[in-house]
Structure 1
Amino acid sequence: MPAPKSERLLNLLIMLLVQRRPIAKDRIRELLYPDSRPDAFEKMFERDKDELRSLGVPVEVAQIDPLFDDEVGYRIPPDEFALPDVSLTPEEAAVVGLASRVWQQATMAQATTDAVRKLSAAGLDVDLTALEIAQPRLNADEPAFATCWEAVCDRTCIEFDYQRPNEPESRRRHVQPWGLVRTSGRWYLVGFDTDRDDERVFRLDRVTSAVRKVGPARSYDVPPDTDLRQTIERLAPVPAAERAVLLVRRGTGHSFRRRASRVEADVAGPDTRTGWDRVQLDRPARGFVDEVLYHGPDVVLLEPAALRAEIVGRLEAIAG
């Protein structure tokens, strides 16, 4: 029986990401699609590649041997998948965030382990350090997350009850889901609301019912050139920015330093292992909490108090 689509996509992403050189299509079939007929494999593989590319994953086609051009293979260049010189944030690469979350769940952790084990057992030269670009651990505890993610992959319409903050009761929504984005510590669903005949953004923790798939898979197309980040910015603008003050370990936190309005060097920090600088940002960017958490013990948020409390809460939840 073929693997579930979400598991298959994750396996394919991992396989192509850890390759030091392109891998041939017949090897991909042998390792990840072993029970499929040739014609079924061709269809599934093409669909899976298209799904990954639609989520922003740069699946590359290249010659397996530079001296011969008669056979091509596939891989995902880690340097193109990750953003240069900045921490990878969920809104910049949603699929990486999704993968980093689903690895923490039992079924997807097994899927990832199986994919890497198959590659190693087959004697392929893999680069497991490529997986470090998905290192940020993202929480996706909202019950709506799993079904929405599956619907995004399958392009299946969904329905759910949703409560806006300014309304006393929930309302049923019918949506063609385009993608999931994590920003400002929250997961958002971006899609087309068929009742309102317009694109909409939904915060997953405001979904008050189970999410149900409606109708067949691949029943709609995501508009070409859709940019989920721009849609979030346009339909769910960032609240008025507060000033943020951080302690940043010397030699780290360059993304904060580039945006700083003030940097005070050689201040007292939480340890004496290295020097520390105090960095002030007048306009924290969207996804600021995730960016701070990504830096681990090298960055400590002092202000504002509300965001500091959120960071402490999330760290306590992980420790628990």
Structure 2
Amino acid sequence: MLETSARLLRLLSLLQLPRDWTGPQLADRLGVSPRTVRADVGKLRSLGYPVDARPGVAGGYRLAAGTAMPPLLLDDDEAVAVAIGLGLVATRGLGVEETSLAALAKLEQVLPTRLRRRVQGVREATSAVPAPEPPLDLMVLGEVAGAIRRHERLRFGYTTRGGRQASRHAEPHRLVRWGALWYLLAWDLDRDDWRVFRVDRMALHTPTSARFRPRPIPDDDAVALVVRRVSTEAWAYRARVLVHAPAAVVAATFPIPLDVTVVDESTCRLELGADDPDRLALWLAQLDADVEVIEGDALAEAFARLATRFRRASNGTRSAVAERA
């Protein structure tokens, strides 16, 4: 006969199946008497599990919907499926990224090693059609989220924008998704200041197990701090432009994070930056909208170079057409 705690878990597993169980059926599965089944059902109810009992030939026991979410018991296949699914949702921009990531961190913290290997095996053995965003290691994302939840310091290797490898020691505070990218807002212990790291450029080292007391985030707004650091302060060239297109269209089209301010329903203002003004001009040209440079001489000069290049291309096309005529 199973011990009481193991028997309750087995009973819970059976009740989670979408069917009704009679008392004798459960007693047979558990190797106990119907009276013990009734007692165990009462214990589950006292723990917050809403177990319905319907009398009659067609009745039985069933786990019903309650007013609160009780803990669920997953078998190995279900746990692996949920972990993989949460990882996919966390990177798909569906509006539930933070919630999915928090759930994934909780699940991966308790996954047995054999199931962690299965989850990682599926991730390593599958591919997707390349998208414009850089590849993201979901295990790194999940471990960073877990460190934030546990208030645990991180040591990690980091690839800077220039390709240089650096070693960082930081207190992770918040993950922020912006466009196709995930950013970590952390207190850099070596620089004694807030820093923003792209998660796809991080390579985690051995867990430190060192706890920290969370620091107050400036203005209590992690998103605003990340936007400010990423969109302007981190770049070699910065600019402000007026775009004659709706803000939502511009934000969805642009390949890098940017700070968008709505001017009216058909116009918006951008504050953005880049290490290469020519590339920035090319990105803005792809918006298929009129653009006015408010601030940023380097960007204005890059637009002039781009216009000259397009003009040469256009002249070459007209010459070829004239020769064929």
TM-score bucket (shorter structure): 0.3 to 0.5
TM-score, structure 1 normalization: 0.37
Highest CA radius of gyration, 1 or 2? 2
Q: Which structure shows the bigger proportion of residues in helix conformation?
A: 2
Question: TM-score by structure 2 length?
Answer: 0.37
Higher relative contact order structure (alpha carbons within 8 Å, sequence separation ≥ 6): 1
